[in-house]
Amino acid sequence: MISKNQIKYIKGLEQKKVRKREGLFVAEGPKVVGDLLHAGFTPNRIMATEDWYQAMHIQAYDRFLVVTDEELGRISFLQHPQQVLATFPIPVYQHQQHDFATDLFLALDNVQDPGNLGTIIRIADWFGISTIFCSPETADAYNPKVVQATMGSIARVRVVYTNLQQLFSNLPEGTPVYGTFLDGKDIYKESLTTNGIIVMGNEGNGISQDVAAYVNKKLLIPHYPAEKETADSLNVAIATAVTCAEFRRR
Q: For 18-50, how does the pLDDT look when each residue is reduced to its tens digit (9 = 90+)?
A: 999 999 999 999 999 999 999 999 999 999 999
| pLDDT value, residue 250 | 77
Q: Rounded to the nearest 5 degrees, what angle is found at the Cα of 142, between the Cα atoms of 136 and 147?
A: 130
H helix or E strand, kind and range, residue 4: helix 4-12
C-beta of residue 215 within 8 angstroms of C-beta of residue 122: no
| pLDDT value, residue 97 | 80
| pLDDT value, residue 228 | 86
| pLDDT value, residue 94 | 63
Looking at residue 63, its amino acid is: R
pLDDT, one tens digit for every residue, the chain (250 residues): 788 999 999 999 999 999 999 999 999 999 999 999 999 999 999 999 999 999 999 988 889 999 999 999 999 999 999 999 999 999 987 667 889 999 999 999 999 999 999 999 999 999 999 999 999 999 999 999 999 999 999 999 999 999 999 999 999 999 999 999 989 999 999 999 999 999 999 999 999 999 999 999 999 999 998 888 888 889 999 999 999 999 999 7
Residues 6+ apart with CB under 8 A from 131: 93, 96, 98, 103, 105, 106, 157, 158, 159, 160
C-beta of residue 57 within 8 angstroms of C-beta of residue 176: no
| pLDDT value, residue 95 | 64
Cα 108 from chain centre: 10
* Cα-only R_g, the chain: 20
pTM: 0.94
Residues 6+ apart with CB under 8 A from 136: 161, 162, 163
